[in-house]
Amino acid sequence: MKSVQWVKILLCLILACVNVFLFVVSWGVDYRILVAREHIRFRQEMPTMDSWINSPFGKLKNYVFNVTNAEEFRSGRDSRLKVKEIGPIVYRIVGFNDILDRNETNVRYRKHRYRVVEFLPEESVAPDVLNWTITSTNNVILGAATKVKHTAPLAAFGFDAALMMEDIFVTDSVYYFLWEFTRPLLQTLSRISNIRPNVAVLYNALKEKEEVYTVNIGPKRGIENFFRIETLNGEVIIREQLPHTRQYDSNSCPFNVSGALDNSLFPPFVQPDTPLSIVAIESCRVLPLTYQRQERYNGLDTFRYTLLQSHQKPPGCLDTSYGVKLPDGMFDVSQCVINDAPSAFSMPHFYGSSYNWSQHYEGYTPNAEDHEPYILLEPVTGIPVTEKYRFQSNIPIPDLRRFSSRLSRFSNMMIPSFWYEFEMGQLPGFVTSLMWINVNIVQHIQPYCMVLFLVLALWSVLKAIRVACGDLGYVVLFRKLCGDLGTVTALETKFQATSASPDVAVK
């Protein structure tokens, strides 16, 4: 044989061996596991890496409340505050995850949540909404009164006299309340203490916080532990809560970040009963996710999780804010806001709370569709496809009967500052395409691939034999291997005559 024939034979045999090897490997593995193991290696070359690095991304929708009967409430003609919601006031948000260190078992990165903050006038309730004038409660005075009642109750008698020049209601622009809210009292105190003078909600909420995560990656840690947190800022306890951990049982307080997630990626193959929780950095706690139901979204079957259940009882370490017992469906965040102000989070419009808001307000319309926070998670890949992260910030007011009448009218109220919704942006098209292939193709293609490997292996062997026999055709090769079945041998049987045949005459 010529050398060219030997090369062809060798190539065919190699191809046959490769396909036999692929068939044997495919027999003992699950393609979905192989894809997942590559995904959790979290390599720089992964096609989803760019989307993760530039996250979180989406729209931050903010809502404030305009008090329409301030004079009537102040004079006592109205016993309830009438409020009108103003919003959405929309900002585009783009974050950035800066990888600091990586090895085969973990990655350490710094999260910048608000690298880009851009006002979107055309998507807001009106392009000039920031210039609208609204009336709001003076939350500086109400928050200070709550603090005084809890820490120095005897000072209540001189409190109102010291703040006689401060009105209990403030009228100014939406921009002022979101970005520049300050009062003479705060400016004075800031000169002699660490109190910050600007208490505007977005000005403080969108400030950069130190967030350095160390999370699990790689097959050695296990697929079920992918991207679960080891430490946050080098600690297993959220830094703002460290001074308070001695007061509470660490197992019952949601301050330990070990095993939680940062809400950007989740482990693959999530089941409805898989324990999941996320670090809510704006409230300095860990939030458990509660599975609700399956939901179809953009051609994918997802799991819907809520971040706060209706009438959910707060943990014992978060059920009181400056002596005020919080209703179900709320939790204390005073250790996590500016100046340690009295503050509690709830769902917007007090949805799912046991607080009887109708006793103090008119104008709220709580409902699940508009006010329930949730995440839609694709369970096979562990990638969130959308989320609406919704919370309302409130000031819990205690019984202020010892204060002046203008303050005592607010006794036992929950005073909303604002509420917000972070709506996750659409994933890039190629990411959703890869997810769709992973979910709908990979899990069904394995048997077809195994049949293809067998066919290719058989063809390669036959091709090698044909080349070795001089490039014979398949029919000739078959005859050569199995015999010439095209030739038919006839069997002849002869019989001897026993008597002469009579002649038969026909006339």
* pTM (2 d.p.): 0.86
Residue 341 pLDDT > 80? yes
Is the pLDDT at 405 greater than 80, yes or no? yes
| Residue 126 burial (CB count, 10 A) | 12
From the list 339, 336, 307, 334, the residue with the least C-alpha distance to 323 is 334
435-494 pLDDT per residue, tens:
999 898 988 888 888 899 899 998 888 888 877 777 766 666 667 666 654 444 444 445
Per-residue pLDDT, averaged over 232-242, amounts to 92
Average pLDDT, the chain: 89
> Cβ(173)–Cβ(190) under 8 Å?
no
Residue 141, sorted as left (phi over 0), alpha (psi -120 to 50) or beta, turns out to be alpha
Please determine, for residue 388, whether its predicted confidence score (pLDDT) is greater than 60.
yes
Confidence at 499, pLDDT banded by 50, 70, 90: very low
Write 275-280 long-range contacts (CB < 8 A, 24+).
276/305, 278/307, 279/229, 279/232, 279/238, 280/307
117 contact partners, CB below 8 Å, separation of at least 6: 60, 91, 92, 93, 206
pLDDT tens track for 19-54: 899 888 888 888 889 999 999 999 988 888 889 999
Which residues are bridge partners to 275 per DSSP?
Answer: none
Is residue 157 over pLDDT 90?
A: no
Q: Is the model's pLDDT at 505 over the cut of 50? A: no
